[in-house]
Amino acid sequence: MTTKLNPVQLHLLQLFSHDLSQNELKDIKALLADYFVKKADEEMVRLQEQKSITQKDMDELLTAHLRTPYKQ
């Protein structure tokens, strides 16, 4: 089975076809991580607005124990 690369993957391969230093690689990883954190934050804001979730609701989730208890 062969896997086709999507346009983003192809573009990144072409863009980074030359050797990168460790510092350049670290910087690119940080840029990508920041991008995806920003996207996750934007989605969280959208969901909060869409579902009328308050900051209080979010704070309660931080300490909620949502795991199914193990059977004794």
Residue ranges making up the domain that contains 55: 20-63
Rounded distance between C-alpha atoms, residue 54 and residue 31, angstroms: 30
Residue 3 in any domain: the answer is no
How far is 35 from 55, CA to CA, in rounded Å? 24
Instruction: Please tell me whether residue 58 adopts helix, strand or coil conformation.
Output: helix
Residue 2 lies in a domain: no
Tell me, yes or no, whether 49 lies in a domain: yes
Q: Render pLDDT for 5-64 as a digit per residue (tens, 0 to 9).
A: 999 999 988 988 888 899 998 999 999 999 999 999 999 899 888 988 888 998 998 888
Q: Residue 54: inside a domain, yes or no?
A: yes
Q: What is the pTM of this model?
A: 0.62
